[in-house]
Amino acid sequence: MTYPNRGQVTSMALAGLISAILSPVASYAAESAANSLEEIVVTAQRREERLQDVPISVSAYGQAALDSQSIRSIDDVSRLAPGVNFSHGTNYNSASSDIAIRGVQSSAGAATTGIYIDDTPIQTRHLSFGTFNAYPVLFDLGRVEVLRGPQGTLFGSGSEGGTVRFIMPEAQLTGESAYMRSELATTSHGDPSYEVGVAHGGAISEGVLGYRASVSYRRNGGYIDHVDYINQSVTDKASNWDSAVTARLALKWKVSDALTVSPSIYYQSSKLNDTSAFWEPVPGTDPTNGFLSPDKMRNGNRGRNPSDDKFTLSSVKVEYSADNLSFVSNTSYFVRRQSAYTDYTEFDRAVFLGDPYVTDPSVSAPTQWADDQDNFTQEFRLTKNDPSAALNWTVGVFYQHSKENTVENVYDPAILEQLGLPVGDGYIYKQNPFSAVDKQLAVFGQADYKLSPRVKATLGVRYSNAEFASDTYYSGFVVGPPVASKGTLKEHPVTPKLGINFQMTPDNLLYASAAKGFRVGGANPAIGIFCGLQPDANFNSDSVWSYEVGSKNQSADHKLMFDASGYVIKWKNVQQNVYLPCGFQFTDNLGNAESKGFDLAFSLKMSDAFSFGATVAYTDAAFTEDVLKTVSGQTLPIAQNGDHLAGAPWNFAFWGQANYGAFGGDGYFRVDFQHNAEQRDRTSEQNPSNYTYQLWRRGLPAVDNLSIRTGVNYGRLDVSAFVTNLTNSLPAITRNQDVGTPTGGTPLFYDITQRPRTFGVTATYRY
């Protein structure tokens, strides 16, 4: 596949882009009496609006769309949403992940993407390898919203690049409804997967008290074999299976015509049996004579790398509405307990001996992880939303106290013996506490004023008092003398937003905006004495300014939709991890970067029998200045002007659905295809002039995913068969190396790919 070059893209004139956007809409004339495209209502601006009326680049997926497109995880959501890249962690923590929206992503410090369950942010801070975001299981969701661009005014710190919101169904005060889903599937080279879940809602007291309750269980079969590469045997076939249990209860009490109180509790327990990374020997260095070839997807770790992740979100929402004014109070408490076991047998020997392959079966290096997260969140919002008024607004107060602590203890007496060091208690590294407390008190407001019946101006601002405090203690020979430190940081970010909207017709909107996003800084731990340098004690905050123009368009009969947006993001004082040739890393402010690009979305319902759509996104994110660091008295480049940030430059997605009568019901056949283009622009680790250069570091590979689903709908019951990843595309989406150096480093890669070809059947029942 051939892509336009960067010069062609960046030279595209804005007027030409808008003309290209609008011309299909103007020329379309519907000839069929088919129903229109589904209308989606979102709360991206903290009030209910049609998706097509929101002057933000947003992707939204309702429950039916999630089912029809086989969306079962955050990985699947990221494939569909244009401009979004999702990557998993390492061999030692494959459950970890990062989201990049429009090129804004970092595996260091506070999150760049806000993760919300309803009105509660749950994203974590990157403290170490063992800390990563939690995501709700995608069962009984009202919808998922992906908001691109900084959302610093209405959603605050943590939404620097964008926000992903998981909206749960509310309890209902009248009638009743139910949703049930069961699924059975089998994966190539792997074990079966299965799911069962049921949700029910209804009135306890008609019009006064109602509920929504759900429970679900899902097990995803593994497809990576755990092996003993010494005697070349499989010890645990398809070892990387995972499972999740969820339970939720939501109530709604209508105290009066104006006042409702809605408490809820959501519990989720996830288990990963083993890492999803498989081994790939560096070319020309395979001592196993093909036993670990990547096409066999085998993991040779001495021990399993399992993890358990449990969280509970309790919340109470109070709403009062009268005379076009609504007041909302949301109080929530998020408690998460994650624990893991990591086998460092290969890693320790790669770092200290240069060879990860261990031939002595008695040698092992078990590591215990724990990560605790406790977040209290309180938000008050007052909104005026009167369609006939010239001025509408939202004002609010937000408070959050987030505490996180991660523990890591590496036990490896054998490596101490090999290095001729005292064995002592056998631990080469102990970390506890490693805690961070983020406190944020913010006031915010956003107003929309109609300058004329068609023109509306938007002005918003958020002022925050952000405080960070850390408490760390490390010991072990890899650090040197024990380190005990405390750090504090106080900042007062102001994140404004300005916008102008032109409503050409009720279904055609042009908009332009400028918005700021912010991310608080933090503190660095000490790193190994073998690295030859120590990082600065603190790293500072970073921020973005995003400039966006866009258009949202529908035909008069709502059978054609065409949306587009173009943007330039200026990222200042970028927080990123610096990966060192010694196997360690630290966080630093790596100068400035810029991301520019566009995204397009198109849907057409030609008739009752056929509809299709497509999305396209282009992202070009790179550093705009040289970044220097002093190492052993010598000033060396860490990143240089023009070095790119990791991410696919092009994202394409296509879907098509045909409907027909079959077996006494409504039959359908659906095709979904997503393509992420290969990243060919070099990153800082691929630049031979940089201190962090690694010979084997490469950009992201091309990734394809073709899925089909066919079934019959009998009103309440839907039965379908599906195939995901039909072509069995298995590129190494994530590739890690214990130690990367300019000359090659250690002779083993750890790869993570997408789930192989999977066949299955699904039955859903809803009313």
CB 492 within 8 A of CB 476: no
The predicted-structure confidence for 566-604, as pLDDT tens digits, reads as follows 999 999 999 887 777 666 778 888 889 999 999 999 999
CB 516 within 8 A of CB 569: no
Q: What's the token pair of residue 22?
A: 């609008």
* pLDDT of 391 higher than 70: yes
The predicted-structure confidence for 441-486, as pLDDT tens digits, reads as follows 999 999 999 999 999 999 999 999 999 999 989 888 887 788 888 8
CA distance 591 to 579: 16
Reference 589, options 634, 536, 649, 530; nearest CA is: 536
* Omega within 30 of 0 (cis) for the link into 433: yes
Report, as an integer, the average pLDDT of 365-382.
94
- What structural domains does the chain harbor? 6-766 (2.40.170.20)
The predicted-structure confidence for 311-321, as pLDDT tens digits, reads as follows 999 999 999 99
Report, as an integer, the average pLDDT of 612-637.
88
Report, as an integer, the average pLDDT of 235-254.
97
Q: What percent of the chain has pLDDT over 70?
A: 93
Instruction: pLDDT band for 11, please (50, 70, 90 cuts).
Output: very low
* Higher pLDDT pick, 614 / 36: 614
CA distance 710 to 666: 11
CA distances from 187 to 77, 192, 216, 217, 637 (A): 20, 6, 21, 18, 45
The predicted-structure confidence for 716-752, as pLDDT tens digits, reads as follows 999 999 999 999 999 999 898 999 999 999 999 999 9
**DSSP letters along 411-468, please?**
E-HHHHHHTT---TTSEEEEEEEEEEEEEEEEEEEEEEEESSSSEEEEEEEEEEEEEE
